[in-house]
């Protein structure tokens, strides 16, 4: 995680852009994907900037893809989203060349997959016949679970190597693509067990990260603010992943699953603000 001196103008631009996206539409009611779009832009404009401060080209790409989410789907929106795909693809190439911790590498590779799905969504493409909402959720999945989870898992494995942190890394690296594959299998009506198996593996890995984050919160060498950030991050992830487990096992134990709108409202919010934001800020405090 790079912690550089803040570039106030870029930070202000990105924050104002997210505030612009956050404002609900003035007429016609709030669309069903309103909060998903806000969580997605929050990951792009805030979380990714906090983890690795953007240069001007990255800032421009982030602003353009955010604007693309505010205009109707089509060619113009897709073209505006393409620079973000190029930026994330370049970061993925650089991460693979650096050959660092595998989880930290994947935290820069998975968002490139999310950016590709985001371009597809803005172009109003429906790969393999998926509903546009599922395409958007896939883009959000790889910008959140594909970014913050392997990032925190890798940082914990670097800071305190142990059986727990190593298991978390392995489970998350397997779980993120398995969940995506499971959703695809469910869509085509084949191998329905892949999704609950993938969700269970991912949840177990994420629970390990939650425990590791909470352990960081009890380390006395950190200041109270950093410790609080770690604790909030760990507790939020723990709660969010219990909800994810219930949803992933909905075909096996249907009574414990939230509806999809409830999932992105509660699970998504816990992951973005509780786990992601507080966790990244806590790690920035440790690096300082």
Note whether residue 155 is domain-resident: yes
Task: Note the pLDDT of residue 85.
Answer: 97
- On whether both 167 and 262 belong to a single domain, the answer is yes
Note whether residue 123 is domain-resident: yes
Please list, in sequence order, all residues whose beta carbon lies within 8 angstroms of the beta carbon of residue 265, skipping any fewer than 6 positions away.
Answer: 35
Q: Which of 55-59, 130-134, 230-234 has the highest mean pLDDT?
A: 230-234
- On whether both 288 and 152 belong to a single domain, the answer is yes
- On whether both 177 and 274 belong to a single domain, the answer is yes
Half-sphere exposure of 203 (CA within 13 A, CB side): 19
- Phi and psi at 130, nearest 5°, equal -70, 145
Residue 65 reports pLDDT greater than 70: yes
Element housing 153 (H / E)? helix 148-159
Distance CA 181, CA 165 (A): 24
Task: Note the pLDDT of residue 6.
Answer: 46
Task: Note the pLDDT of residue 8.
Answer: 62
User: What proportion of the chain, given as a percentage, has pLDDT over 90?
Assistant: 54
Note whether residue 140 is domain-resident: no
- On whether both 51 and 157 belong to a single domain, the answer is no
- On whether both 149 and 175 belong to a single domain, the answer is yes
| Domain closes at, from 128, 155, 171 | 128
Please list, in sequence order, all residues whose beta carbon lies within 8 angstroms of the beta carbon of residue 140, skipping any fewer than 6 positions away.
Answer: 36, 39, 40, 43, 114, 264, 268
Task: Note the pLDDT of residue 221.
Answer: 87
Residue 269 reports pLDDT greater than 60: yes
- On whether both 267 and 161 belong to a single domain, the answer is yes
Identify the three-state secondary structure at position 99.
coil
Task: Note the pLDDT of residue 195.
Answer: 80
Q: Is 158 left (phi over 0), alpha (psi -120 to 50) or beta?
A: alpha
Q: What is the pLDDT of residues 161-187, one digit of tens each?
A: 999 999 999 999 998 888 888 888 877
- The whole domain housing 94 covers 9-21+31-128
- On whether both 149 and 111 belong to a single domain, the answer is no
Contact yes or no for 13/59 (Cβ under 8 A): yes
Question: 44, exposed or middle or buried, with CB in 10 Å at 0-12, 13-18, 19+?
Answer: buried
Note whether residue 122 is domain-resident: yes
| Domain closes at, from 128, 160, 175 | 128
Task: Note the pLDDT of residue 258.
Answer: 72
- On whether both 122 and 157 belong to a single domain, the answer is no
Distance CA 129, CA 252 (A): 25
Note whether residue 221 is domain-resident: yes
Q: What is the pLDDT of residues 193-244, one digit of tens each?
A: 888 888 889 999 999 999 999 999 999 888 999 999 999 999 999 999 888 8
Identify the three-state secondary structure at position 246.
helix
Q: What is the pLDDT of residues 73-120, one digit of tens each?
A: 999 999 999 999 999 999 999 999 987 789 999 999 999 999 999 999
Q: What does the block give as tokens for 84?
A: 């973000």
Give which of 158, 65, 184 is closest to 115, Cα–Cα: 65
Note whether residue 138 is domain-resident: no
| Domain closes at, from 79, 102, 128 | 128
Percentages helix, strand, coil for the chain (3-state, rounded to 5) are 80, 0, 20
Q: What does the block give as tokens for 108?
A: 């820069």
Task: Note the pLDDT of residue 7.
Answer: 55
Per the structure, the count of domains in the chain is 2
Give which of 114, 113, 91 is closest to 43, Cα–Cα: 114
Question: 118, exposed or middle or buried, with CB in 10 Å at 0-12, 13-18, 19+?
Answer: buried
- On whether both 211 and 275 belong to a single domain, the answer is yes
- On whether both 105 and 197 belong to a single domain, the answer is no
- On whether both 73 and 170 belong to a single domain, the answer is no
- On whether both 74 and 184 belong to a single domain, the answer is no
Note whether residue 134 is domain-resident: no
Note whether residue 1 is domain-resident: no
């Amino acid at each position: 995680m790079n912690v550089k001196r803040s570039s106030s103008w870029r930070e202000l631009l990105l924050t104002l852009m997210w505030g612009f996206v956050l404002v609900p539409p003035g007429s016609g009611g709030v669309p069903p994907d309103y909060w998903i779009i806000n969580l997605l832009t929050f990951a792009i404009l805030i979380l990714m900037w906090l983890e690795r401060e953007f240069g001007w080209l990255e800032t421009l790409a982030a602003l353009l893809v955010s604007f693309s989410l505010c205009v109707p789907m089509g060619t113009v929106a897709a073209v505006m989203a393409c620079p973000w795909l190029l930026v994330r693809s370049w970061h993925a190439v650089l991460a693979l060349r650096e050959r660092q911790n595998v989880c930290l590498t994947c935290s820069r590779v998975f968002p490139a997959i999310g950016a590709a799905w985001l371009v597809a969504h803005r172009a109003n493409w429906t790969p393999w016949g998926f509903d546009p909402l599922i395409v958007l959720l896939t883009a959000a999945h790889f910008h959140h679970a594909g970014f913050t989870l392997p990032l925190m898992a890798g940082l914990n494995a670097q800071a305190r190597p142990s059986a727990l942190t190593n298991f978390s890394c392995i489970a998350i690296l397997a779980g993120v693509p398995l969940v995506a594959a499971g959703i695809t299998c469910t869509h085509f009506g084949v191998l329905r067990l892949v999704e609950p198996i993938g969700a269970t593996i991912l949840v177990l890995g994420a629970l390990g990260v939650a425990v590791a984050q909470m352990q960081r919160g009890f380390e006395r060498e950190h200041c109270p603010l950093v410790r609080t950030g770690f604790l909030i991050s760990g507790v939020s992830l723990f709660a969010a992943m219990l909800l994810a487990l219930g949803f992933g096992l909905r075909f096996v134990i249907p009574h414990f699953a939230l509806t999809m709108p409830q999932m992105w409202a509660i699970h998504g919010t816990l992951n973005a603000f509780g786990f992601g934001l507080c966790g990244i800020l806590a790690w920035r405090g440790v690096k300082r």
